[in-house]
Structure 1
């Protein structure tokens, strides 16, 4: 009986701790939501309401259609589209390039292949912030400023994804490779019919991570874009907070911030099963 009571008490403590941590995470988001449903003047009264106000639909319709006055009334829908194209381009591009790179390193025999792999892996020590000046110069010389190409192409290479795909490919049994060779499968067919189906969970997990990485980019879009029509969500939020000497319209800023959460949240929830399986599958 004592052991049962101790186990029950332990579970209650764990559940209480989880609920407390969840509340600590969710409560600021809830306050942002409540703020977005009230007039901006309500936030200046010194007391933040805890219940939603009557301006939910007008506030979100306004920021999506006309934007925020302190940032030139650029529609948030345009910013979201820019960020979405950038995030999808980076995620898909990183996965394709990394998968093909790992495939070549593992399944092809060519001179200095391990040297090339470790050179790719060494780029982990050179994030975009370190190489931002020469990268900007190359993008400028290619005429890619203020374009999706300029936003996406310099961020496509991923040593992390290449390493993860390589480690997975090394676990593929030699018998499977020999069976495919006996069946007459060439490199392309082996990649499409064998490697890609086996890599689905890895691809899903990396897609979620890389999408969030692309969506949350701040420094590179800030440098490579000067056209307001190419503004991404994070840049828009920052400029909405410091765009002028006027009072900050906190209801609009909070609505914009919550809208910025939706695409990454949708990706995580939509691919949750594949994402978790890709991270914890014992065979991976």
Structure 2
């Protein structure tokens, strides 16, 4: 075991503290700005301590309606974004785990052909698929609907590949034992595979929830009404080219509220997320 000197440890802690400050300071600055009035923000330098307008700014943003986004409150935008992120994350996991289960444990014609067709979609950039997908959504009348926002983003070749690779490590003896005990395909999937996959599911859920929460291009195409927009789209609409026309105190409030749900998901599922990346419970 290599002993480190006090100086090297002090240097390591100093570098770590500096890195933390670099990451945390912009978030803290945004939080502080969200508690000050617009006049204070436009008159630099901005104080580094919270201001007296916390309740006023947050209540205005959440329930008062913001003019630049059609008078819609941020609470509506957060709800839309949450529905979109949850539907995409859960939909991707359900579709991917079922498709991987079928590919690994069932024998049917062209099984590997279907797998490679799914895998090849990883090589297609989003721009290649965006126009035909948008045309299908328009023809089906799904513009400005939650179905249109979420359904085209549910398929995931990456998650299918990850579940397939995990299922291929399941010992054949476990499959034979389940078959001898009279477990059918559904019971084997529900009672054996799902419990073994829970850490992988948790890790994928965190990644896919953040993926859905931060979507920009697809919601921009699929929503025309302001009340169906997402918080990421609203942030862009709230910022004007003219600095004086932008309600920066409400922009900062929206930024803080947009950050909170992904942070809570990561914090609450951190243990499962790490286990899903580094451990296997077979």
TM-score (norm 1): 0.95
Q: Which residue pairs with 1:143 in the alignment?
A: 141
Q: Which residue pairs with 2:101 in the alignment?
A: 103
Q: Which residue pairs with 1:272 in the alignment?
A: 270
Once superposed, which parts of structure 1, at least 4 consecutive aligned residues long, lie more than 6 Å away? Answer: none
Tell me if 1:58 matches 2:63.
no
Q: Which residue pairs with 1:232 in the alignment?
A: 230
Q: 1:245 to 1:251 in 2, by over 3 A?
A: closer
The counterpart of 1:213, out of the listed 211, 214, 230, is: 211
Q: Which residue pairs with 1:92 in the alignment?
A: 90
Tell me if 1:79 matches 2:56.
no
Q: 1:73 to 1:13 in 2, by over 3 A?
A: same
Aligned residues: 282
- Give how far 1:115 is off: 1.6
- Give how far 1:282 is off: 5.1
Whether the 8 Å CA contact 1:70–1:244 is kept in 2: the answer is: no
Q: Which residue pairs with 1:33 in the alignment?
A: 31
- Give how far 1:246 is off: 5.6
TM-score (norm 2): 0.96
Q: Which runs of 5+ in 1 are unaligned?
A: none
SS in 2 for 1:129: helix
- Give how far 1:58 is off: 1.0
Equivalent-residue separation in structure 2 for 1:6 and 1:173 (angstroms): 44
The range that moved more, 60-69 or 251-260, is 60-69
Q: 1:243 to 1:45 in 2, by over 3 A?
A: closer
Tell me if 1:191 matches 2:189.
yes
RMSD: 1.7
- Give how far 1:111 is off: 1.5
Q: 1:169 to 1:56 in 2, by over 3 A?
A: same
The range that moved more, 240-249 or 81-90, is 240-249
The range that moved more, 220-229 or 241-250, is 241-250
Equivalent-residue separation in structure 2 for 1:19 and 1:35 (angstroms): 23
Equivalent-residue separation in structure 2 for 1:24 and 1:268 (angstroms): 20
Equivalent-residue separation in structure 1 for 2:280 and 2:105 (angstroms): 23
SS in 1 for 2:245: coil
Q: Which residue pairs with 1:258 in the alignment?
A: 256
List per-residue Cα deviations over 1:140-177 (Å, max 9, x = no partner).
11111100000000001101100000010011111110
Equivalent-residue separation in structure 2 for 1:187 and 1:11 (angstroms): 55
Whether the 8 Å CA contact 1:40–1:249 is kept in 2: the answer is: yes
The counterpart of 1:173, out of the listed 171, 174, 185, is: 171
Equivalent-residue separation in structure 1 for 2:2 and 2:83 (angstroms): 54
Q: Which runs of 5+ in 2 are unaligned?
A: none
Equivalent-residue separation in structure 2 for 1:81 and 1:75 (angstroms): 10
Equivalent-residue separation in structure 2 for 1:189 and 1:283 (angstroms): 19
